Amino acid sequence: MPPSAKRSIGQVLPLLKNEFPDISISKIRFLESEGLVSPERAPSGYRRYADEDIERLRYILRMQRDHYLPLKVIRQNLDLMDRGIEPPTVETPASTADQPSTAQPAAGRTQANASGPQTPKRPMKLTRRELLQVSGLSEATLIELERQQMVMPRRGSIYYGREALTVCVVARRLQEYGMDTRHMRAIKQAAEREAGLVEQAVRPYLATSSKPAQTLHDVSQLVVHAHAALIYTLLEG
């Protein structure tokens, strides 16, 4: 097929599947309905995607997968790109950037992050629909996570935050390894125990701290890194 040839949505799907295994025709159509991509329509009414449309889809899907950007922000970035303006640099969210990788052991990352306070990221606001789209989680699994109170809107709001998105992404990824919401409940119980430990231990410091939220954040990060390092140690042993 010549580079300039237009493709049907069925031909576009396998071109994206390798990089985005969760992509589906319904998701491509959803992105089109949101005005993020506008393929040409043939006289027969079928969508015809040019190479530029496919690259646009790749950009959207990468921003969702790698940076958890809501569609509103992605749309703003696309508008800038359409006008020849470079969009703002996107930072990887703390929820993924702080995860240990094979290139840097958990213990090494703990030492690096313990050298100074880590500033919490700006709050994220996702509608329920955006949460499902960005995380790739099924409606049924999200309902179960909500029933178990593992995913909830931010307090006093209808929007979901970064933590809710992280739980949804983790739940979806764990399903690939045969772990379901039963295992997520066990993870939640361990988190509840650790949260109680942190709260009890740092209570005397919070009373005198000028930045109690920062103190809780710093201690929580240390506990998270210790937890990850210990899990790796136990599994590798």
Digit-coded pLDDT (tens) for 95-134: 433 443 333 333 344 344 444 444 445 567 888 888 888 8
In a domain, 17, yes or no: yes
pLDDT (0 to 100) of residue 94: 42
CATH number at residue 23: 1.10.1660.10
Domain end, chosen from 44, 61, 82, is at 82
Q: Based on the domain organization, do 151 and 221 belong to the same domain?
A: yes
* Same-domain status, 211 and 118: yes
pLDDT tens digits for range 62-84? 988 888 777 888 888 899 888 88
The pLDDT value recorded for residue 11 is: 94
Same domain, 24 and 141: no
Query: Which residue, chain included where needed, has tokens 């295992």?
Result: 183
DSSP for 87-144, please give it.
PPPPPPPHHHHTS-BTTB-HHHHHHHHTTSPPPPPPP--B-HHHHHHHH---HHHHHH
State whether residue 49 is helix, strand or coil. Answer: strand
> Is residue 190 scored above 70 in pLDDT?
yes
- Does the pTM surpass 0.75? The reply is no
**Residues 23, 115: one domain?**
no
Q: Report the DSSP beta bridge partners of residue 179.
A: none
Over pLDDT 70: what percentage of the chain? 83
Nearest to 165 by CA among 221, 126, 122: 126
Q: Looking at 47, 82, 117, which one is the last position of a domain?
A: 82
Calpha distance 70→90 (Å, rounded): 12
Check: CB of residue 79 under 8 Å from CB of residue 148: no
Closest CA to 121 of 155, 91, 157: 91
145 and 224 in a common domain: yes
For residue 119, give its domain range.
94-236
| pLDDT surpasses 50 at 181 | yes
Sign for the CA dihedral angle at 143, 145, 146, 147 comes to: positive
Q: Is the pLDDT higher at 52 or at 218?
A: 52
The mean per-residue pLDDT over the stretch 189-199 comes to 90
One domain, residues 103 and 217? yes
Q: Do both 154 and 211 map to the same domain?
A: yes
Q: Give me the number of domains the chain comprises.
A: 2
d(CA 202, CA 11): 57
Asked whether residue 110 falls in the same domain as residue 138, the answer is yes
Q: Quote the pLDDT of residue 120.
A: 47
- Mean pLDDT value across the chain: 81
Identify the domain boundary among 60, 82, 104. Answer: 82
Q: Are both 31 and 139 inside the same structural domain?
A: no
Helices within the chain (DSSP H only):
9-17, 25-33, 51-67, 71-82, 94-97, 106-113, 128-135, 139-147, 162-175, 181-206, 212-236
User: What is the C-alpha to C-alpha distance for residues 141 and 171, in angstroms, rounded to an integer?
Assistant: 8
Q: Is residue 215 part of a domain?
A: yes
Same domain, 42 and 137: no
- Whether 154 and 108 share a structural domain: yes
